[in-house]
Structure 1
Amino acid sequence: MIDERDTAAIAAQLGREPRGVRRVAYRCPCGNPAVIETAPRLPDGTPFPTLFYLTCPKLASAIGTLEGGGMMRGMQARLADDPELRASYEAAHADYLRRRDQATKEEGVEPLPEGMQSAGGMPERVKCLHALIAHELAVPGVNPFGHEALAELPEWWRNGPCVRPGGDAETTTDDRPDQEGER
């Protein structure tokens, strides 16, 4: 269960009320939520395949810089050429699906349609570092590309939290790169 203070912080980070939040999956070193675990279906029943969703706008901006710098192209090329890396990425995909299926059972909701994507392009593409890093932060050591990209990030929290105690965000949602879905 998520408490009122975390819900308020997440709403300030996103610029809107969050939906389908199950728990805080990772806290930023500043103490605020940075990754949430979401239900596989929104309250109205709409499928939402992104289990681990990044909420910290400072972290999202830093990841957007990596994406803009072309990191994903190099990862994609290596995925095609490295069987061990491909196997590790496929294992990350299986982990994501297993955890999402478990969340479906715990929430008592209808399973997502067969073949629905996991996140970040897994297991065949490298599509969204936000989703891959969120997975790695929530489940350390599982996502090879999330781990690799995370190691390249600056210390986004060093200049203070993205949300002040009053709930005001320091960066606007317009400055945030898109993720694979909207929570």
Structure 2
Amino acid sequence: MTTPPFAAPTPAEIAVVSAQLGRPARGVVGIAARCACGNPAVVATTPRLPDGTPFPTFYYLTHPAATAAMSTLEATQVMPELAALLADDEGVAAAYLAAHESYLADRRQFGEVPEIDGVSAGGMPTRVKCLHALAGHALAAGPGVNPIGDEALARSAWSPSICRCEEPGAAMREAPDA
């Protein structure tokens, strides 16, 4: 078992995520990706919520501008194009299957839930169902892990390297080079 690349969330981070979602955050085990300003963009969520509900979406996109960008892509019929890419390119299909397996391994570190065994998110490994989930995984795992999530991010009007947080006084700024 590997250690996840994130620490347990702080109460302040949970408050930001709750504000982003417009409801209390549930089952958050870490901040898996961040905006340029450091605010959460993706959370990692326990596979069984505190109320006992199975929850397959381990990487959950929370940043309002990112979720809006994915909704725009879905509304403009990008999903059929990405599904065709998946169907027509064996390399993309193989990488997408590997992304699915990686997703399951990441989630498994936080518990086994028989009801969702083998189920990842976003339609993986054979369909393109939810760009929010696929972009969340791509942001959390990094470039090159989830080809459909990477492509959705590349086609979107949002980037984690430019702050677009809607908090008072939040500046639009480029992220420092790593």
TM-score normalised by the shorter chain: which range applies? 0.7 to 0.9
CA distance in 1, matches of 2:49, 2:117: 19
C-alpha offsets along residues 103-141 of structure 1, whole Å, 9 cap, x if unaligned?
21xxxxx52326452100001100111000000000012
* Structure-1 residue corresponding to 2:121: 119
User: Which segments of 5 or more consecutive residues in structure 2 lack a partner in the other structure?
Assistant: 1-7, 170-178
Map of 2:75 onto structure 1:
68
Q: Does 1:143 align with 2:150?
A: no
Measured in 2, the distance between the counterparts of 1:159 and 1:86 equals: 32
Aligned length: 160
% identical aligned pairs: 50
- Separation in 1 of the partners of 2:96 and 2:159? 26
Rounded Cα–Cα distance in structure 2 between residues aligned with 1:163 and 1:37: 22
Name 1:43's counterpart in structure 2.
50
Give the corresponding residue for 2:156. 153
TM normalised by structure 2 equals 0.83
Task: Name the SS of the counterpart of 1:137 in structure 2.
Answer: helix
Letter in 2 for 1:151: A
- Residue deviations 1:35-70 (CA, integer Å, cap 9, x gap): 000000001221000000011111110111111111
User: Counterpart of 1:94 in 2: which secondary structure?
Assistant: helix
1:82 equivalenced with 2:119 (yes/no):
no
The TM-score with structure 1 as length reference comes to 0.81
Alpha carbons 1:62, 1:156 under 8 Å: kept: no
Q: Secondary structure at the match of 2:60?
A: strand
Secondary structure of 2:115's counterpart equals: coil
2:138–2:149 CA contact under 8 A, matched in 1: yes
Q: Name the CA distance, whole Å, in 2 between partners of 1:71 and 1:135.
A: 18
Residue of structure 2 equivalent to 1:14: 21
**2:54 and 2:116 in contact (8 A); partners too:** no
Q: What one-letter code is carried by the residue in structure 1 that aligns with 2:135?
A: I
After superposition, the CA RMSD in angstroms is 1.8
